[in-house]
Structure 1
Amino acid sequence: MPGDTLPPHAVEAADRAAWRRWLSRHQGQANGVWLVMARKGSDHEAPTLDEAIDEALCFGWIDSKQGRLDERRSLLWFAPRKPKSAWSGPHQRRAEALEAAGLMEPAGQAKVDEARRSGLWHKPPA
């Protein structure tokens, strides 16, 4: 079926744990991926938006542009955070909560620590 065709660099994860496993295995090998997400009201299995963003932050990745795949699925681009990118307030709060819960991975913690050292942690996004 045409709706089953995924674009290049697309990843399907049935849940938060599967997305975390993918990030753990590929965090240093990929320049970015389209994560297949469930559209509102869909029965497609995928992590929620909050889960997907939280797990990405744990590994030093960031969400970006969105795309539509079909009636049941959408796409959200995730990529490693660039060294000089400022952290938004919501992402700072998420990262702080993930730190407190002990969920940050070394790569994600390194991005947070570098942002704090360089002043990008509190710099407003452009």
Structure 2
Amino acid sequence: MSVKEIESFYPSNRQQWREWLQENHAKKQSIWLIHYKIKSSMPTISWSEAVDEALCFGWIDSKAKPIDEEKYMQFFSKRRAISTWSKVNKEKVQKLIDGGTMTKAGLESIEIAKQNGSWTILDEVEALIIPNDLEAV
């Protein structure tokens, strides 16, 4: 799909983004989320807030594209079952679980990742562990 074929959405606050996800996370495959830059006077949500809410519903962020001097769009989509989990996102989901904001869809995406190994596949890389076959002899 081209950029023009994918719906866009501008939430002026975190609650609006969460409400969009509640209504659409199971129906839609993706969305371009519009963010305003800090120098703009427009209300907006931060990248971190947007990712937190997406994780709650089993979604994830991807590429960003500039729109103009004041705003850009960030691609969000349903997380694929084999999508790897970064340490940052695993820490984020633990905070979301502890805070009671994680939804059934978000918990299911975590469980699928734990079952298929994509939850832990980056652990050694992020811990800077050198595999035995690559260590100097």
Q: TM-score, normalised by structure 1?
A: 0.89
Letter in 2 for 1:40: I
Give the C-alpha shift of residue 116 in structure 1: 1.7
Name structure 2 gaps, 5 residues minimum. Answer: 126-137
Report the counterpart of residue 29 of structure 2 in structure 1.
31
CA contact (8 A) 1:44 1:73 kept: no
Letter in 1 for 2:63: K
Report the counterpart of residue 86 of structure 1 in structure 2.
84
2:113 to 95, 112, 115: 115
Report the counterpart of residue 3 of structure 1 in structure 2.
none
Report the counterpart of residue 46 of structure 2 in structure 1.
48
Between the aligned residues of both structures, percent identity stands at 31
Distance, in Å, in 1 between the alignment partners of 2:27 and 2:44 is 22
Report the more deviating stretch, 76-85 or 34-43: 34-43
Distance, in Å, in 2 between the alignment partners of 1:78 and 1:28 is 13
Q: TM-score, normalised by structure 2?
A: 0.83
Distance, in Å, in 1 between the alignment partners of 2:94 and 2:102 is 9
Letter in 2 for 1:90: V
Letter in 2 for 1:88: S
RMSD: 1.8
Report the counterpart of residue 4 of structure 1 in structure 2.
none
Distance, in Å, in 2 between the alignment partners of 1:30 and 1:45 is 25
CA contact (8 A) 1:11 1:33 kept: yes
Give the C-alpha shift of residue 114 in structure 1: 1.5
1:30-50 superposed Cα distances (whole Å, 9 cap, x missing partner): 110000001131112221111
Larger radius of gyration: 2
